[in-house]
Amino acid sequence: MENVDNQYLLLTPGPLTTSPSVREAMLKDWCTWDDDYNKGIVQVIRQQLVQMATQHHGYTSVLMQGSGTASVEATIGSVIPADGKLLVVNNGAYGERIGQIAQYLNIAHHVIELDEVTQPSVEQLIDVLETDHTITHVAMVHCETTTGMLNPIEAVCDVVKSHNKVMILDAMSSFGGIPMDIGELGIDFMISSANKCIQGVPGFGFVIAKQTELERCKGLARSLSLDLYDQWQCMEINQGKWRFTSPTHTVRAFHQALIELTEEGGVAARFDRYSMNQKILVEGMEKLGIQCLLPCDLHSPIITSFFSPEHPDYDFKQFYNLLKQKGFVIYPGKVSNADCFRIGNIGDVHNHDIENLITAVSESMYWLAGNQ
């Protein structure tokens, strides 16, 4: 279905362009105490998320109000004991944010600091884990949307599990769009958000956890509202009931988004669409002389960073506004040592949309060059 009622396509890593039927699902009010909502929607979502995440038994899910970052903070603040220590792999703004959360919560932590265009090294990870035996947990971002880099979760998880540490994965911008089995990988806590690859709207995040690890978290939380264990217990005991006010409209939209993911053919089919979107995007931009920040083997199908054109008349804000007038919204760059911008291709965005974007970029660049 075309998004003819949208003023523009959101070519960002989320919030993103949603289908008309997902938006329409929010037009009905729901009671947070009613079984139609709790058992009929929330519990169904929780079960579907676990089924999407792994074929292994022993996993559960918990939904958390707020942004994706709130769910990351709920996890970091709820699963690490007072005598624990977190190792953070940081090669972008969202890895850095995990370190900031640990600092705010006074959690002992060590950060492997990498620049935004460098993948984590297995050797470096091994060296840290074998040098500092006080580390109990390891956290990393899967798709670092600072650049669009896809980090090597298989290799990292192998190292973490071989050293008997708890693995926390921020899969905010990858879950639902990139096939993975968190049980196979040995991931203990995986965090994502409603408004990413499952193509819902903002309002809540979720954590899919190994149940035996989550059961160990009773009484560890450093926050009342972000107590992951208590939220899970409430949903388990009360069949989908949230401890505090549930974002009912957002949850109902997410339920519809899950239906549409299944109708599309599941995560594998969505991965194929996103990958083709990204391929068309990169090829089209390179034909226009706009180069990628990262080499292709580090790309994800989620979002891509491009070097800003070197033309003296180029100005990102003006470029942004020209594309917005043509129906496309892109993202500014977030890399510390490179002048760049980012274009996402997830959401209800299809191959012809990216082809139309390339035409709009070409026309906008022509205008910026003074040929209007």
Residue 335 has pLDDT above 80, yes or no: yes
| Residues ≥6 apart with Cβ < 8 Å to 333 | 305, 308, 316, 339, 340, 341, 342
Asked if 249 and 172 sit in the same domain, the reply is yes
Model pLDDT, residue 13? 86
CA distance 354 to 279: 10
Looking at residue 268, its amino acid is A
Asked if 63 and 194 sit in the same domain, the reply is yes
- Look at the chain and report how many structural domains it folds into: 2
Is residue 9 domain-resident?
no
In 3D, which of 210, 150, 216 has the Cα closest to residue 185?
210
Asked if 240 and 280 sit in the same domain, the reply is no
Residue 306 has pLDDT above 90, yes or no: yes
Interior CA angle at 28 toward 46 and 203, to 5°?
50
Model pLDDT, residue 322? 94
Asked if 135 and 259 sit in the same domain, the reply is yes
**CATH code, domain carrying 280:** 3.90.1150.10
Is residue 71 domain-resident?
yes
| Measured torsion, CA atoms of residues 73, 79, 82, 86, in degrees rounded to the nearest 10 | -70
Cβ(204)–Cβ(354) below 8 Å: no
CA distance 290 to 104: 40
Residue 179 has pLDDT above 90, yes or no: yes
Residue 198 has pLDDT above 50, yes or no: yes
Asked if 321 and 196 sit in the same domain, the reply is no
Model pLDDT, residue 263? 98
Is residue 19 domain-resident?
no
> Mean pLDDT over all residues of the chain?
95
How does pLDDT run across 1-17, given as a tens digit for each residue?
Answer: 455 677 899 999 889 99
Asked if 325 and 296 sit in the same domain, the reply is yes
Model pLDDT, residue 336? 77
Asked if 68 and 129 sit in the same domain, the reply is yes
Would you say 342 is a known binding-site residue?
yes
Asked if 49 and 184 sit in the same domain, the reply is yes
Claim: this prediction has a pTM higher than 0.85: yes
Asked if 357 and 326 sit in the same domain, the reply is yes
Structural domain boundaries, residue 311:
266-368
Mean pLDDT of 272-288: 97
The three-state secondary structure class of 286 is helix
**CATH code, domain carrying 117:** 3.40.640.10
Helices of type H across the chain:
20-24, 35-37, 43-53, 68-79, 93-104, 122-131, 153-162, 182-185, 211-215, 228-237, 248-264, 266-287, 316-325, 351-366
Asked if 335 and 254 sit in the same domain, the reply is no
Model pLDDT, residue 312? 80
Is residue 10 domain-resident?
no
Other Cβ atoms within 10 Å of 55 Cβ, number: 9
The pair of structure tokens assigned to 55 is 């074929």
Residue 86 has pLDDT above 50, yes or no: yes
